[in-house]
Amino acid sequence: MSPALPIGTLIEENNLTEKQVYFDLEQINKNLLITGADSTGKSNTLKNLLAKLRSPFILFSTNSNEYRQFKVTGKSIKIYTVGDKEIAPIWINPFEIYDNDSDPAGHSMLTSILQNSFELSDLTITALEDCLCNSKSSNINQFIYDINQIKTSISNKFDSVVFSELSKIIYNIQYYLPETFSDKSAFNITDLTTKSSILELSRLPNNYSKRFFTNTLLTLIISKLKISTANSFRKTEPLVFIFEDAHELFPKGRTSSIISYFIQQADRVGYSFIFLDTRPELLDDSIICATNSKFIHCLNSREGAIVAGASIGFNSIDSLSINLLKTGEAYFKSPNFSSPLKIAVNKLGLTNIVSYKVTDESLKRSAGNVPQPPQWLKLAFAPKTFSIHYQEAKKYAIKLLQSDKDLSIIIELDCLAAISFICKAVITSKINFKTKDDYVGFTFGVFVECLDSVRPQYISDAKVQSDWQKQIDRLSGI
């Protein structure tokens, strides 16, 4: 018998009864919609469910940090401040969806991510597909450089839409590149999908960047789970994805093929979804249709009430009664009931912990084990001049590593010094490093990336970086 949660008290003929209404937690596996205007009880309903939920969850919190309080309820929850590297950062690499540099499926998935995130025209999509297919290197830095090259080549006034849309992509990815995106992901997919996590997206600048992060992460998760040889999915442990202000991530009229595909496969892989929204009239129709159970709180707009009402079987007249609901009241629709029930949702008993706030500072202290990006990563993905010369330095370093020299010298200091001075000759005449640490970090990044791709068996991070620093101290005049 599946567990049941006492979710609220039944309201009959506008009178509160003593009858408890129970929510079958197995219905979460069939996907759930919770909608309502601000301060109508929507978040309380979700917190009731999360307090009893046995499965781990990933909550995409778009505009608030109110869910941090669950960190002190005894649940083991990891909180990430997406876009803020100083608190509890997380970095993802969109190119990890690729099996290899020329993977056509990877090109298609990345194009789909960009299309669903940035609302692109067909001409821009074609330009991006050409860019990905012709790119010699599948990494973010090179990708941004290639897009800039396309922008530079655009002179026809009829391509102004393409120019504008490419600029939008570059701004949202490059501006937040060191804080959010990298060529080395700083999180473990397995950890993320087996433990409860809250991803706070409020520090990202706009809905475009929030969509890009969300769509990329969903694609990375599903690509890691997919058994490519069989084109199928293995059954996993249950996991619930929760999206706050879902219409900002999956807007109406621009169906996200990524989330739609993910929903279709959810039952097969053991995943399910909860969508919270204040504006259901702006949420993609396919998402509303994909939810079996619904909690409808008061909505401020007639359009929202009609859309939400239609999803639980109300006609347009009956739907208007939604906007008469009091705070904490909701229409509850579940496959276990033949018609929607009007209920007063139980208040979650968090009175003992509400006085404790998980502040940025306390979160930063508890996130000490979150991997930090190396100095070279922050430099390499910084302004355009760094990006261009970083690629230039890599080319020279790879050429040296692919030479006919005896392999044994690769890990010797003389070889490291040679690479560092090649980098110095290529770069320092064009870039003024503020400190020696900047220079050391940059050149070490070039070395590690190149050695990792050409001769990975010689990587020994701690010792190599220490030797590199000593060699720079001894030989570099910077």
Count of CA atoms in the C-beta half-sphere (13 A) of 48: 22
Residue 75 pLDDT grade (very low, low, confident, very high; cuts 50, 70, 90): low
Q: CA 454 to CA 402: how far, in whole Å?
A: 7
Residue pair 451/411 in contact (Cβ under 8 Å)? The answer is: no
Query: Using 50, 70 and 90 to split pLDDT, how confident is the model at 351?
Result: very low
- Per DSSP (E only), the strands in 94-244 are 196-200, 226-227, 232-233, 239-243
| Cβ atoms of residues 160 and 40 within 8 Å | no
The position carrying tokens 């025209």 is 121
Which amino acid is residue 25, in one-letter code? L
Partnered with residue 197 across adjacent β-strands are 58, 78
Q: Give the tens place of pLDDT for each residue, 30-55.
A: 789 999 999 898 988 888 888 778 78
User: In 3D, which of 112, 114, 105 has the Cα closest to residue 140?
Assistant: 114
For residues 116 and 412, give the distance between their C-alpha atoms in angstroms, rounded to a whole number: 48
Mean pLDDT of 396-414: 51
Report d(CA 305, CA 316) in Å as an integer: 8
Q: What is the distance, to the nearest Å, from the Cα of residue 84 to the centroid of all Cα atoms in its chain?
A: 13
User: Which tokens belong to 13?
Assistant: 């003929």
Alpha carbon of 222 to those of 120, 191, 209, 474: distances in Å?
A: 23, 14, 20, 48
Residue 114 in this model has a pLDDT that exceeds 60: yes
Residues 273, 263 contacting (CB under 8 angstroms): yes
Mean pLDDT of 349-362: 60
Neighbours of 288 (CB within 10 A): 20
| In contact, 268 and 237? CB cutoff 8 Å | no
Q: How confident is the model at residue 63 (pLDDT cuts 50, 70, 90)?
A: confident
Nearest Cα to 10, choosing from 246, 462, 330?
330
Q: How confident is the model at residue 464 (pLDDT cuts 50, 70, 90)?
A: low
pTM for the predicted model, two decimal places = 0.75
Q: Residue 159 to residues 74, 121, 162: CA-CA distances in angstroms?
A: 55, 11, 5
128 pLDDT band (50/70/90 cuts)? confident
Q: CA-to-CA distance for 433 and 151, rounded, in angstroms?
A: 28
pLDDT single digits (tens) 407-435: 444 444 445 555 555 566 555 555 666 66
Residue 312 has pLDDT above 70, yes or no: yes
Any idea which of 50-64, 82-96, 162-176, 384-398 has the lowest mean pLDDT? 384-398
> How far apart, in whole angstroms, are the C-alpha atoms of residue 256 and residue 246?
12
Percentage above 90 pLDDT, the chain: 21
Contact 61, 199 (CB under 8 A): yes
Q: Say how many C-beta atoms besides its own lie within 10 A of residue 45's C-beta.
A: 28
What average pLDDT does range 180-204 have in this prediction? Answer: 78
Task: Quote the CA–CA distance of 403 and 422 in Å, as a whole number.
Answer: 14
Between 104-118 and 160-174, two packed helices, what is the crossing angle to 10 degrees? 100
Taking alpha carbons only, the member of 442, 388, 447 closest to residue 174 is 388
HEC letters along 257-302: HHHHHHHHHHHHHCEEEEEEECCHHHECHHHHHCCCEEEECCCCCH
pLDDT in tens, 158-185: 577 888 888 888 877 776 666 677 666 5
- Specify the pLDDT at position 359: 79
- Which H helix or E strand runs over 33? strand 32-35
257 or 289, greater pLDDT? 289
User: How high is the mean pLDDT of the chain?
Assistant: 75
Strand partners, 344: 9, 329
pLDDT at position 371, please?
Answer: 52
- Cβ contact 428:404 at 8 Å: no
Instruction: Write down how long the chain is.
Output: 478
CB of 25 closer than 8 Å to CB of 3: yes
Q: In the beta sheet, which residues pair with residue 239?
A: 271
| Residue located via tokens 């359009």 | 303
The amino acid occupying position 224 is K
